[in-house]
């Protein structure tokens, strides 16, 4: 009987992990920083910046 209980526990994953490990946090932080850098470059580019200024200008009733 004990053998079957151990087999069931092994198949079920007796150990439960509740959160991420330090390395997973580190990789997530690096990925978020890389995404933020790319997004910053896109938003501050000339094309996007002028499009945003134009849209805001039209919304406020002025011409840009």
Tens digit of pLDDT for each residue in 16-64?
Answer: 666 667 888 899 999 999 999 999 999 899 999 899 889 999 999 865 5
Give residue 42's pLDDT: 92
DSSP for the chain reads -HHHHHHHHHHHTSS---S--HHHHHHHHHHHHHHHHHHHHHHTSHHHHHHHHHHHHHHHT---
Against a cut of 0.85, is the pTM above it? no
**For the chain, which residues make up each domain, given as ranges?**
2-60
Q: Can you give the pLDDT at residue 37?
A: 97
**What is the pLDDT at residue 39?**
94
- 23 compared with 9, residue with greater pLDDT: 23
- Measured CA to CA, the distance from residue 16 to residue 52 in angstroms comes to 48
């Amino acid at each position: 009987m004990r053998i079957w209980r151990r087999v069931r526990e092994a198949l079920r994953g007796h150990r439960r992990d509740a959160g991420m490990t330090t390395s997973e946090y580190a990789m997530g932080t690096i990925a978020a920083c890389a995404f933020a850098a790319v997004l910053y470059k896109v938003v501050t580019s000339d094309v996007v910046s002028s499009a945003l200024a134009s849209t805001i200008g039209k919304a406020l009733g002025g011409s840009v």
